[in-house]
Structure 1
C-alpha cells in the first residue's frame, strides 16, 4: 500500500501544486499581504521550493501570526476572539448549507466479535446514498459516549468506511494490507467500540458509496477504466479498483475546480457531510450527545481538524498524522496532499493548526510521526507550538496534548492506546 500511495503522489504531484483562486479572492488575498522580504543579491543562490523561485517570496508575504490568530496581542480572552475567527473560517471554507431532513435507513443488524453492528444508509439531496457502519458493545444499555470515526484518504477512493472497520472474518483482500500498513493490523473503529463506545463510520464525500461514478460522467474521459472496458464500478475485482483509484486521483483536481466554481470548496463539502453524520450520531437514543468525540488518521486527521475546529458538539478530538503549517504546504508538501485541505484565503486569517485551535478550550490531541514523509518535522513542531500557545494563552494548557512518535505515516497500536486513553479521560466513559 505504501508503494501505491507513492505512485498516487507521483502521478498527481504536478496538478496538486497550485490552488486555483477565483479572481476576486486572489485580489483580496494579495491586498491583505504585508511585504516583509528584502531583495536577494544577484549572486546569492535562491532557496529551492516545490514551486521554484516563487516559493520564498510568497512565504515572506505570509503574516505570522495571521490576522485572526488568537496569538495576536489584540485578544486576551477566547470569548472576544472566537466569534470573529470562527465566522471568518466558515466564510472561507464556504461550506454548503444542507437544510433537508435526513432519514436514516437500517439495512442490516447483526453481532460480530463482541459488537452489535448496524449497516445504515441515508440520502442527501445530491449524489448516491451515504453508507455507514454503526458499532457498539453487545448488550450495552443506556446512553453511551460516542466517536465519529473518520476514515483516511490514502489515494484510495473506492473504499471508505471499510478502511477502519471489520464486520466479518472475511475482508476484501485489499483491506487487510491497508490496515496492516497504517493501523498495525487493527480495525481501530472496532477497538474503540469494544472499549464501551458507540462508533459511527460513514463514507466521506467522494469516497466509496459517495464516490464519483464513471458512468455518471460527461465531458471528460481518461484512464484504464474506459481503455480496458472495465466500467463495472461495483466490481470488487482488484484490477478494477486500482483502475478506478487511478482515475479518481486525476478527477480530484477537476472536482476541486468545479466546487470552487460553484462557490464552495472541497473541505467545505467534506465538512458539510461530516456534520450530517454527526447530526445522525447525536440524535441516536443510545448515544449521549454531550459526550461525542471524533478522530482519524491522515485524511481522517484532516477531517478532524475541520470538524473538530468548526463544530463544538465534538467534545474531544484526536487528529492523527495530519498537522503542519500553511508554509509547509506552500514550500514543501502541497503535492503530497488532497484538495480536501485547501480553502482559498483562509491562510490570511488562521494558520493551519489554528483551524483546529478554534475548538479551544475543548480537549484536543494531535499525534504526529517524526519520520512522516507527508510533512517536514520542523513545521510539524511549529504547528505543535502554535496549538500549545493557543491553549496556554486561553488558560487551558492541560486540555491540549501534542505527541510525537518514531516511524512513518501511521496510527499504530501505541498511538491508538494513547488516543483511546485521551477519549476515556475527557468523555468520562
Structure 2
C-alpha cells in the first residue's frame, strides 16, 4: 500500500513539470512501535507513523529542494505537492548553476520488499518482561517497517521496504555500574533474547564485586563487537570518504600514500546487500552489493558520492552525500569466541566505549572512555569490574601490529538512533583481541 502511494505521488509530479523542468524525489517513512522500559516494567508505549518527502526541482544545472511531511492520503497530499513545486519554481531563477551536479539519467528501477517476519509487538514485549523479571532493566524496543523510495522525471522508480526490530537495554546495578546489551534483526528469536539476558545477568553479578582501578598504561585487551563498533565507526568521520582523502582530511591518507597498513586480518567493506539500508541513494544512483574499503590490511577503495565523482572526474559508487558507511562489515577472524577469556589471559575486557573523538586525526589516534561492564581478567577469569578509564590509542596500532586476532563469530548491530526517524545503519562485526590498549587516566 505504501509503495503504491509513492508511485501515485511520482505520477502526480510527472504532470506538474513544465518544459525544461524535471524533478527527483526521496521518500522516507516508517510505521514503528516504540516501547520504553524502566525498572523492568513498561513506562512509555507508543506508535509513530510518519512520511517525509524531499522534492528537488531542476532547470538545467539550477536546482532547489524542499522537505515536507505528508499524510499518506494521495487525495490530500497532491495539494501539498503542488505547493512544493510552485515554491521551488519561484526560487530557481535566482540560483546559480551547480558545477558539480551529476544526475542519474540512466533509468535503473529497482524494488526490494522484505515481508515482516516479526510477531506482534505485544508478544515481543511479553517475552522481554518475562526475561527481565527480577532485574532493574531499562531499555527501548523499536519494531516495524521502514520505507525508502526514489523517483525522477526520467521514469526511474526505486523502492525499499523492510521490517526489523531493535531492542537495546541495560541491567542496572548502582551508580555507573550497568551491563548493556542489544538484540536486533529481521526475525524475533526468544531463545537468543533469553541467552542474552542470562549472559548479562552473569556480568551483573560480577559488577556487584568491589570495583578496582588499574594504573594508566598499555594492557592486553579484548574489545567486544559493540566496543569495536565505536572505534571503527570513527572512520565515518570523514575517514572512508574519497573527498576527505583527496583534501587530506581523512586519517586514511597515510594508507592511500602507502606509508602505513593494517593487519592482514582486517578486511572492511560497505556491504549494502547484507544490511538494512536501501541499495540506492538520494540522487538515484544504485549502490553495488559490496564496496571493499580495506582488503587484507591495505586501502582498497573509498566511498564516492556523485558530487565528488563530478568534481574529480571519477566514477561514483553510489555513496550517500556524506560518504559514510551505512552497512559496515568487518570480516571474521579465526579466534574462537569461546576462547576469548583464555586467549586474553590477564588484561581488560571492554564491553562498550563512549565519548569518542580524534586526538590526532592524521595518525588515527582516538580518545574516549570505557563504559558499563568493563572487567579486569586474570589467567582467563574475570576477577572484578573496573572503574571508568580514559583511553588514547591509534587505529593503526590497534588494527595493525597490535592486533592479536578477530573472533570467528560476528554480531549484527543495528543503529539505535531514532532522532527524527529510525536509522537504517548497521554493522556486522567480530570482537578483537589486542596486545596492548593504552589507558591514560
**What interval of TM-score do these two structures reach, taking the shorter chain for normalisation?**
under 0.3
> What TM-score comes out, normalization by structure 1 length?
0.22
Structure with bigger strand share is: 2
Q: Give the structure with higher Rg (CA).
A: 2
Structure with bigger helix share is: 1
